[in-house]
Amino acid sequence: MAINSALPNWKDKILFTPGPLTTSRTVKQSLLRDLGSRDYEFNSLVTDIRKRLLDAGGVADSGYEAIIMQGSGTFSMESVISSTIPADGKFLVIINGAYGRRVAQIAEAHHIAVVPLIYPENSKPDLAEIEAALEADDAITSVAVIHCETTTGIMNPIKEIGAIVKRFGKDYFVDAMSSFGGVPFNLAECEIDYMVSSANKCIEGIPGFGIILAKRETLLKTEAYARTFSLDLLAQLQRFDIDGQFRFTPPTHSLLAYHQALVELEMEGGVEGRAARYKANYDTLVAGMREMGFKEYLAAEDQGFIITSFPYPKHPNFDFEEFYRALNERDYVIYPGKVSEADCFRIGSIGRILPADMMALLAAIREVLVEMEVEL
């Protein structure tokens, strides 16, 4: 039997998730070649990726460095936390969801003193309380916040927080995992020292590495701070400075895909162009879900357009596992909820999807609700 005939037929599912996401056919095709990790062509490609990342952050000539770190986005966040906070440092972590809690857990795993500032998952942080916390404890050296907290989809005010953090002279970390490349913001204007994101989010690449945009002057002051060997952020930058190469084996195929994804970001009109498509996806989703009788978990003024949480219908026939499976069988993948205080599911508006894909998902949801005999 020929090998190809033995392979199962497959069809791409459409992923309405916070990542990994639906990718373009051309991004997938870009994987279909091999390059050596020390090859001059590969090194040139990595250099171009790093330049394009600075362009996407609006800091091409502002003293920032784009550093690629193997592993998931969480690996990159751990790299920043474990490499840049001094041994006697203290870390203020602003928490209004699961990913803020994860940042605190990473720090605690490295025996870093954490000052958690905790808010309900459906509330933005209180700027006056952040200022008061910094006023009360001069030992705090660093502050972290999640930009788009995908637990709910809330967008935290990173520019306003950054102004407060810098007024007190602290280092500022922003987890922009699910917003960078899809939500326009300028790192310098937000006064960010370290921003972390992931290959498989709004840039629309595939998993394999995370990216850190770091203020070079700030990072160079962290010599000997690193608590790990392989996640040493300064050492990774120093190796890039020497010859543009990674310290350890890079995810070559993921980087090939990412370069193509960055080219396609530029073709779409950059971050602003991509944000317009994502916002159109979100508007289509919310209008259709409201028409069916669903309501968003967050207040409209707090909701971002990256991912939206919807509380379960109160109808006794509704079962999320059945709902999820029926949509999946139609090749539409949504996401379970992560909200602590309410039963919700989540639908993302990002990835290589269009308003027409949202319309198709909405039609599928209507069909499934009829099959389940759920009336809203």
Q: Where are the domains of the chain?
A: 28-267, 270-372
Is there a shared CATH topology between the 28-267 domain and the 270-372 domain?
no
Q: Is 238 helix (H, G, I), strand (E, B) or coil?
A: helix
pLDDT at position 1: 36
Nearest to 185 by CA among 197, 198, 176, 194: 176
User: How far, in Å, CA of 184 to CA of 274, rounded?
Assistant: 9
pTM, full prediction: 0.95
pLDDT at position 9: 53
CATH number of 28-267: 3.40.640.10
**Residue 270: how many other CB atoms lie within 10 Å:** 15
**Residue 188: how many other CB atoms lie within 10 Å:** 15
Q: Is 62 helix (H, G, I), strand (E, B) or coil?
A: coil
Q: What is the DSSP string of 103-167?
A: HHHHHHHTT-EEEEEE--TTS---HHHHHHHHHH-TT--EEEEESEETTTTEE--HHHHHHHHHH
User: How far, in Å, CA of 111 to CA of 125, rounded?
Assistant: 25
pLDDT at position 281: 98
pLDDT at position 12: 87
Phi, psi of 368 (to 5 degrees): -65, -40
pLDDT at position 6: 52
**Crossing angle for the helix pair 73-84 and 98-109, to the nearest 10 degrees:** 50
Burial of 267 (0-12, 13-18, 19+ CB in 10 A): exposed
pLDDT at position 10: 58
Q: Are 194 and 176 in contact (CB under 8 A)?
A: no
Burial of 299 (0-12, 13-18, 19+ CB in 10 A): exposed
Phi, psi of 352 (to 5 degrees): -80, 70
Per-residue confidence in pLDDT tens, the chain, 376 aa: 344 445 555 568 999 999 999 999 999 999 999 999 999 999 999 999 999 999 999 999 999 999 999 999 999 999 999 999 999 999 999 999 999 999 999 999 999 999 999 999 999 999 999 999 999 999 999 999 999 999 999 999 999 999 999 999 999 999 999 999 999 999 999 999 999 999 999 999 999 999 999 999 999 999 999 999 999 999 999 999 999 999 999 999 999 999 999 999 999 999 999 999 999 999 999 999 999 999 999 999 999 999 999 999 999 999 999 999 999 999 999 999 989 889 999 999 999 999 999 999 999 999 999 999 999 9
Domain at 270-372, CATH class: alpha beta
